[in-house]
Copies of this chain bind each other. A is one copy, B any other.
């Protein structure tokens, strides 16, 4: 356990000298907005000691220099839409460093297809700015309308288009970073290939704010595909739906999105939004398959191929869906599920995509054996499963033990299939015990050594992902 200093009035004065009087607060009424993220588990709610709102990279650097000298934890935070309490203070306390004032789009270069932004820009605004010049920013987390691009980088956020375009790390050319000791550098470059030393941006991105604070990002833009179609394939069983996950790449079909919703998820969400797809009344497991192309005829041919392939794998209905209607179902799932069952645990399992069917089968068995109801949606194309463990028909007193038992069995299955704890949400504070349990000790030791190399005093988001031995 590391020990840190408390925020004294003197420290507050020094912070004010950096960011101005309005740029820092230790008022509990104000701090309460930062005690949590979108995660619901109350045991992880934690008031920070202060919040600072730097407006420039130089201010971020000055704050980290001060914190490093005075041994005060700093927790970088974007929009707070995370689910694992990675951007919330923990037992160490400390200062929340909010990037909300660093919210400018600095350059959109349509000619060279990149965009330079500050970390506090909303992802949706990045997408819109790209669209305005006829290009695509391919990152697309489900929380895009509220999350910040800096937070996407911090957790290496995935989303719906990751199956084709990769995760946030793949959308970033370079990042300006303030190191935990308060130095400024730029990692990465606008290069398609490079063998000039270690590509440290690849570990800073996705480090959940433990290796540096990202103060500027150069984002990749790509051409907007000329035409796009959303095919909805309806399967009577999960197994049949899952069978196309492997069949598609083998047929040379590369979807932009491949989203799975199980029957229960479909029902709950359709009830929630009060709008039903015309897909019959039997068991309906959905695969939403978005395919893009620059050639309309080729796309038509592809739709025919898709129809044949899905039906050959058991689909009872395959049709070109209205994009808005079908994505409304997918994007409302999370709200629908928590509304229908407010007490639940959401998992972020990831396995090789070709093992997703096996994972779902294993989880179905665990659910039946342990009498724990679950429902699932998945970014199927990249093997990322969001399973909701539901407190339905389970007594309050039994719930924690039931969740533990389910998770234990589930993670054994996930790791047995070559999977990991988190596909896109990160580890944060919430899953760090699991991280220790399931990570190879030599790998974990290397991660800790790298953290110490970047942050010798362990002041940047300490205790997140893993606890450092002092």
A-to-B contact residues, CB < 8 Å? 111-113, 155-158, 162-163, 166-167, 179, 183-187, 189-200, 202-203, 206-207, 211, 223, 225-226, 246, 249-250, 252, 294-295, 297-298, 301, 348, 350-354, 379, 381-384, 418-427, 435, 439-440, 442-447, 449-450, 452-454, 465-466
Contact = CB atoms under 8 A, between A and B. Distances in A.
A454 B449 CA distance: 7
A278 to B, nearest CB: 31
Contact of A195 (B191, B206, B351, B439): B206
Contact of A420 (B196, B207, B297, B423): B196
Contacts of A184: 442
A217 to B, nearest CB: 15
A466 B198 CA distance: 11
A314 to B, nearest CB: 19
Contacts of A379: 193
A353 B192 contact: yes
A192 B298 contact: no
A192 B382 contact: yes
B450 A420 contact: no
26 contacts: A112-B352, A113-B354, A156-B193, A156-B195, A163-B192, A166-B193, A184-B442, A185-B440, A191-B351, A191-B352, A192-B381, A192-B382, A192-B384, A193-B383, A194-B423, A195-B425, A196-B420, A196-B422, A197-B465, A197-B466, A198-B447, A199-B202, A200-B443, A223-B249, A223-B250, A295-B295
A453 B449 contact: yes
A450 B353 contact: no
A304 to B, nearest CB: 12
Copy count, this protein chain? 2
A203 B206 contact: no
A426 B194 CA distance: 8
A420 B201 CA distance: 15
Given A156-B194, A191-B418, A449-B454, 4 more contacts: A113-B354, A189-B418, A195-B348, A453-B453
A82 B454 CA distance: 31
A242 B3 CA distance: 58
Contact of A423 (B111, B191, B466): B191
B447 A200 contact: yes
A223 B357 CA distance: 21
A203 B194 contact: no
Closest 10 CB pairs of A and B: A192-B382, A185-B442, A449-B453, A453-B453, A196-B420, A202-B202, A298-B298, A252-B294, A190-B352, A198-B203
Contact of A193 (B185, B186, B294, B382): B382
A187 B190 CA distance: 26
A225 B196 CA distance: 32
Contact of A203 (B202, B301, B350, B420): B202
Given A184-B442, A442-B179, A194 B447 contact: no
B440 A195 contact: no
A187 to B, nearest CB: 6
A449 B451 CA distance: 10
Contacts of A192: 162-163, 166, 352-353, 381-384
Contacts of A223: 249-250, 252
Contacts of A179: 442, 446
Contacts of A419: 189, 191
A418 B195 contact: no
A268 to B, nearest CB: 25
Contacts of A183: 442, 445
A211 B422 CA distance: 26
B196 A435 contact: yes
A446 B252 contact: no
Contacts of A190: 352, 418
A195 B426 contact: yes
A352 B188 CA distance: 12
